[in-house]
Amino acid sequence: MTGHTALFRFDAGPEIGGGHAVRCFTLARELEARGWTCRFAVGPETLKTVGSLADRAAECVAPDDMAVLTPVTVVIVDHYGLDIGDEKPWREIARHIVALDDLANRRHDCDVLIDQGLGRRAGDYAGLVPPECRLLLGPLYGLLRPEFAAMRETGLATRRPATVRRVLVAFGLSDPDNLTARALEGLAGKGLQVDVVLGAGAPHLDAVRNTAAVMSPPARVLCDVDDIAGLMVEADLAIGAFGTTSWERCALGLPTIGVIATDNQRDNARTLRDAGAALSLAWHAEVTAKDFANAVGRPLDLADMSRRAAQLCDGLGTGRVAGIIGDLAEGHSPSLRSATMADADLLLLWRNDQETRRQSKATNLVERAGHLSWLEGVLANPNRDIRVAEVNGRPVGSVRADRIGDTWMLSWMVAPEARGQGFGQRIVARVLEDLDGEIQAEVRVENRASARIASAVGMTPRDETDGLTTWIMRK
């Protein structure tokens, strides 16, 4: 047990759907697996909409009664209707505040902000969060349940058919605009196997069942499924909206025909389309059954769409976020400061350590005079950024980012006395929060520790040359 408590503030309902609840529950389960206690501040409509809360009624309070559960380690809020005015008073009951957002349209008082939207940049939140707030941006931090990472290898291995045979239709728990029925009408007569996923409380459930029953073959209508990942693995194509489920589909490499169901999905639709991972139709009110029929009838390069989707999200974001929240609670979060000439001797000591040299591209001992000249040049170069990582004021490593054209090249060192404590991953993950675009790192093939770090932060190996593996990611 950690002794830490997280209090989640979210809502769900027929109009706003269940996406906020799903990602909060996903994070809550991961924190509980790490020894945390989780509680929930939700409204009565949420209790009726989210069936899984029925088994946790004793852990729920009304939003106005949040103070009853004090003190808590962190309040985690996922709600478009709440902002800095609601969050500031929570400082009296919580040590930390974490906000989930994907609109970037209002101010927050938080220590960490998570926005899993593809293409989101730090500048989007300029002036909206405190200067010291950590920004966890992009699908790298997508809050996906563990089964998506567990089934990723299987899912990617099954993406072989050149034509669509099985389709998964899923527009969320409620689907208030009944996009599901329109999609089924478009799929009718094509002889496809179709699975439909809806919540048991969806307002148009009966109409969907009627439409599904007259299809040939009849479509399966499944309510409140526990194995959506399994259904995605079986499918060749998904039809759905561009909400949080987008990252679940990407993690399993599932090509998508998507509809913009709400205003906040426009950016996801655009970026997924531009990435080649999805075909975006239009705003939900403008999409017809014929549009769905035409889209499915188009020649789609399913293999290419799958590959591009899988590059965007690896399904491990929940663990990354839980780890960062845990570090925040324990005071283990690394801080990065720009290096100065005063760090020269410390950096030289780390660089000339025997194990560091053995795992480096250049294994020679570096002389102090040459090191001082090199560091002075790095600090004066606007395209090179070297930072020292500290935990509770103690230096634990360094990381360097060199901009070469449109690419950032990363390299890092962990202080010899700090090895084996997970600082390498924390340091690299921290600097990645500040970088955009393509990011690469060259790691010696035998350097398993750095390879594990690169993989853990979301990089993938691309090629191997002269004993060096190039790891790459794009944000």
SS3 content of the chain, % helix, strand, coil (to 5): 40, 25, 35
Q: How far apart are the first and last CA of the chain?
A: 35
The phi and psi torsions of 182 (rounded to 5 degrees) equal: -65, -40
pLDDT of residue 119: 83
pTM of the full predicted structure? 0.82
**What's residue 266's pLDDT?**
93
Supply the pLDDT for residue 355: 92
The pLDDT value given to residue 425: 94
Residues contacting 367, CB < 8 A, separation 6+: none
Structure tokens at 13: 């309902």
The phi and psi torsions of 404 (rounded to 5 degrees) equal: -125, 100
283: number of Cβ within 10 Å: 14
Tell me the C-alpha distance between 159 and 467, whole Å.
Answer: 31
pLDDT tens, per residue, the chain with 475 residues: 478 999 999 998 877 778 899 899 999 999 999 999 999 999 988 988 787 787 888 899 999 999 888 889 999 999 999 999 999 999 999 999 999 999 999 999 999 999 999 888 899 999 999 999 999 999 999 999 999 999 999 999 988 778 899 999 999 888 999 999 999 999 999 999 999 999 888 999 999 999 999 999 999 999 989 899 999 999 999 999 999 899 999 999 999 999 999 888 999 999 999 999 999 999 999 999 999 999 999 989 999 999 999 989 999 999 999 999 999 999 888 899 999 999 999 999 999 999 999 999 888 999 999 999 999 999 999 999 999 999 988 999 999 999 999 999 999 999 998 998 889 999 999 999 999 889 999 999 999 999 999 999 999 999 999 999 999 998 8
Asked whether 358 and 364 are in contact (CB, 8 A), the reply is: no
Apex CA 271: angle with CA 269 and CA 275, to 5°?
Answer: 115
Region for residue 50 given its phi and psi (left: phi exceeds 0; alpha: psi -120 to 50; beta: otherwise): beta
Q: Which tokens in the block code for residue 392?
A: 């509770």
